[in-house]
């Protein structure tokens, strides 16, 4: 009897001990799970609250109108849309001292982003010149359509990706004027020996006709023309030219041919891009795209306003069209040089073919819509 009671007591003790062990294990496991959940939640919160601070180098000087507004607008939108998680510091040319060195600074990682113009880099990477504006090429709206719907973005990625860079449209100046000249251009002979600030493919075309093109940083343009270091320059159009004061030192203002839709660019270092979370990548893309289009509309507004000022306040400015002989020579040189580039470089050939095909597709609509409308208004 005593043995049975002792046995029952032992079994009862074992059951109680097992029950206590199970309860302890449950508490430990529950605590561990809660701790793990809290750790995951804390990690998620920390990731969501982490602030990404980027540095952007721009080609332009401090408080440069329109171009500089585009970078400020982009940075402001990115910070606001991200609730402060994406902050972009802008260094102007006076800070980094290399207005035409933005490509290299972003490529190396010295800066995370840049704002400049793609054709400035044609000496380093020749095929970058196609993504700003090409002589006798696309109008701004045509070019935006090519970028976003006609394969332009994909081609730009092919060109920039090998250099640890990404490029996005960064704001359009609208169709540019042909430049400010000290002397009137009456024939092709007047271009021979002409020292002119003109970047991109247009510079190559003028060189083909005997001119001496050069590229000069924006902050040095007025002084170079005033001191006759150069004989002529093109900058943008009334939106910015009037502020620069070129009308004070060059009497002839020619209409454009070389940059019908000049698009600036936002550059991004690929390593910087890859470390951003997906939501901040999306926010940055929206901010860049919105700032770019806003710059286009701002350029249109300022050009219209300043064109009226030029006509009313500076009647001595002589607005000229290049003679037909000169335009024919420019176009023929353009065709020759395009072919030379395409024959030497398959990538150039692919980009040229894409742009030509897109113009062939979209220009008839521009003719029957914009051109027809403007012609009808001119007849009234």
Question: What does the angle CA 269 – CA 272 – CA 278 come to, to the nearest 5 degrees?
Answer: 120
- What pLDDT is recorded for position 39? 38
Which tokens belong to 240? 């910015």
| Nearest-angstrom CA–CA distance, 142 and 171 | 14
pLDDT interval class at 363 (50, 70, 90): very high
Domains of the chain with CATH codes: 48-171+262-299 (3.40.190.170), 179-258+315-344 (3.40.190.10)
User: For residues 135 and 201, is the Cβ–Cβ distance under 8 A?
Assistant: yes
CB 163: neighbour CB atoms within 10 A?
19
- Within 10 angstroms of residue 208's Cβ, the number of other Cβ atoms is 17
H helices, E strands: number in the chain = 14, 11
Percent of the chain, pLDDT > 90? 86
Q: Count Cα neighbours of 358 within 13 Å in the Cβ-side half-sphere.
A: 21
Helix residue ranges, H only, 50-101: 67-81, 93-96
Which token pair is 156? 């730009």
Could you tell me whether strands 318-320 and 252-254 are parallel, antiparallel, or unpaired per DSSP bridges? parallel
31, two tokens: 């605590």
pTM to 2 decimal places: 0.86
Report the distance separating Cα 116 and Cα 243, nearest Å: 20
Q: Give the tens place of pLDDT for each residue, 136-169.
A: 999 999 999 999 999 999 999 999 999 999 999 9
> Would you mind telling me the total number of residues written for the chain in this entry?
380
Instruction: Using pLDDT thresholds of 50, 70 and 90, give the confidence band for residue 379.
Output: confident
Smallest CA-to-CA distance from 309 within 365, 374, 237, 363 is with 237
Distance between CA atoms of 315 and 344, rounded to whole angstroms? Answer: 48
d(CA 224, CA 197): 9
**pLDDT tier, 47 (very low <50, low <70, confident <90, very high otherwise):** low
Element (H, E) at 337: helix 324-344
Mean pLDDT of the chain: 91
């Amino acid at each position: 009897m005593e043995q049975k009671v002792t046995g029952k007591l032992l079994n009862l003790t074992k059951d109680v001990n097992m029950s206590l062990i199970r309860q302890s294990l449950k508490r430990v496991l529950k605590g561990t799970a809660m701790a793990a959940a809290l750790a995951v939640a804390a990690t998620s919160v920390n990731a969501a609250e982490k602030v990404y601070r980027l540095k952007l180098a721009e080609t332009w000087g401090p408080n440069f109108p329109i171009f500089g507004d585009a970078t400020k607008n982009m940075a402001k939108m990115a910070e606001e849309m991200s609730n402060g998680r994406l902050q972009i510091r802008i260094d102007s040319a006076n800070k980094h001292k290399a207005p035409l060195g933005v490509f290299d600074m972003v490529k190396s990682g010295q800066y995370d982003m840049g704002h400049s113009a793609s054709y400035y880099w044609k000496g380093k990477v020749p095929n970058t010149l196609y993504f700003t504006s090409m002589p006798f090429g696309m109008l701004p709206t045509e070019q935006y359509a090519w970028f976003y719907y006609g394969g332009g973005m994909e081609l730009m990625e092919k060109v920039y990706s090998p250099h640890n860079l990404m490029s996005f449209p960064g704001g359009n100046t609208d169709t540019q004027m042909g430049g400010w000249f000290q002397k009137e251009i009456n024939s092709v002979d007047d271009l021979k020996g002409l020292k002119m600030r003109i970047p991109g493919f247009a510079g190559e075309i003028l060189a083909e006709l005997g001119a001496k093109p050069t590229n000069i940083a924006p902050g040095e343009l007025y002084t170079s023309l005033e001191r006759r270091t150069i004989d002529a320059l093109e900058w943008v159009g009334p939106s910015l030219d009037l502020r620069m004061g070129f009308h004070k030192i060059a009497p002839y203002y020619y209409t454009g041919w070389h940059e019908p839709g000049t698009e600036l660019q936002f550059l991004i270092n690929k390593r910087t891009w890859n470390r951003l979370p997906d939501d901040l990548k999306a926010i940055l893309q929206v901010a860049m795209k919105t700032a770019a289009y806003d710059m286009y509309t701002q350029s249109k507004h300022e050009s219209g306003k300043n064109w009226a000022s030029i006509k009313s306040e500076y009647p001595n400015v002589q607005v000229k069209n290049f003679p037909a002989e000169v335009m024919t020579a420019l176009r023929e040189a353009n065709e020759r040089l395009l072919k030379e580039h395409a024959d030497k470089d398959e990538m150039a050939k692919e980009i040229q073919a894409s742009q030509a095909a897109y113009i062939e597709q979209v220009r008839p609509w521009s003719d029957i819509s914009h051109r027809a409308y403007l012609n009808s208004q001119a007849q009234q």
